[in-house]
Amino acid sequence: MKELHIENCPGLVSFSQISLPSTLKKLCIGSCGDLRCLLEEGKGKSIYGTSLLEHLYIRNCPSLRSLLSSGKLPACLRHLEIWECPELHSVAETFSDSMFIEHLEIRYCGNLASLPGNLNKLSQLREITIYKCPRFVSFPEDGLPVTNLRKFYIGWCERLEALPRQMQNLTSLLELDIHACPGIVSFPEEGFPTKITSLSMTNLIICNSLFEWGLHKLTSLTHLFITGGCPTVVCFPQEEIGMMLPASLTSLSIVNFPNLKYVALHSLSFLEELFISNCPKLTSLPEKDLPHSLLELYIRDCPLRKERPKMASFMNPGFITMCRTGQQDGPRKFPLLLEKRKGNCKRREIFKIDHIPCVYIDNKFIHDQEDEE
């Protein structure tokens, strides 16, 4: 047997070492309300070097306190995912450099305070997600593994006091998401790794420190999403501190800036998507402040003066038709099909607010004047 799924077994308290097949590579456990320790290995015993287990998924086991009685995860383990285990207080005693974990994801584990030591020795680790673990306080002193880590997500961990150390050394990191961690009050002195391509931040006190450090240093950044944490920002980017944005940006989201009055993005010559929401003092968006590369503009809950848009002028016999296939929050998730055709057929011509082909204001597509009349 290579794969085992167990669901809704209220009497299951633990497995013994001999009860699991030695050939098992994937184990999924869900909704086992009495499960307290996944595997009781026996005194002085461990499956660390003998188990072939590569994938371990545990969900909704409210009594689970630990994974293995020895505190040592199988050396072959590659994917570890734990959801909704509010009593879990330990993943393992420690990690080691002989382990092959690539994906580590922990969500809704209310008693988990930290990750095992030697986290930095997991040289194969590519993704870390810690989500809604309200008692999670800190990362190990040695920081994160620097070799292959591509994605780091930490969110809604109210007691987390600081980001991992030596983040600037994460030279392979591409995606960095930090959300609603009010305990993080200081920005890393060395800054963020400069090769990241996507940065998302929600309600963080360190936003201003990040701006002062210099977003323009993130020379490969293509997606930037910032929500809240900037109550004093009047102009974005902040001209008074010499703030500049990376020229590489293609998507920008600005949400919950209570005092924002101006945006000046004309220098972002590659920007294609702009999403602005909940900025109650943003009353205008002049054409001169927007780049000509912009293809999609989404504005929500901002008191912009309602100006009648202008008809797009087309320079050739072709025309653009739009196929609306749905609507979701955020510019990257809106499936927009633009199709160029020639000849005479039924079509819906796109209006542009000046040069922008797709504009949504308060979830309403700015459409053809003739449709309104």
pLDDT, average across residues 62-81: 93
DSSP 3-state of 183: coil
Question: Phi and psi (nearest 5°) for 371?
Answer: -70, -30
Q: Give the rounded percent of residues in the chain with a pLDDT score beyond 70.
A: 82
pLDDT number for residue 320: 32
DSSP 3-state of 8: coil
Q: Given pLDDT bands bounded at 50, 70 and 90, which one contains residue 67? A: very high
pLDDT in tens, 184-227: 999 998 899 999 999 999 999 999 899 999 999 999 999 999 99
Average pLDDT, the chain: 84
pLDDT, average across residues 342-348: 37
pLDDT number for residue 296: 94
How far from chain centre, in Å, is Cα 20?
A: 36
Q: How far apart are CA 279 and CA 258, in angstroms?
A: 5
Q: Give the rounded percent of residues in the chain with a pLDDT score beyond 90.
A: 66
pLDDT in tens, 110-122: 999 999 999 999 9
Amino acid identity of 296? E
What would the two tokens of residue 277 be?
């929401």
What would the two tokens of residue 156 be?
């809604």
User: Global pTM?
Assistant: 0.84
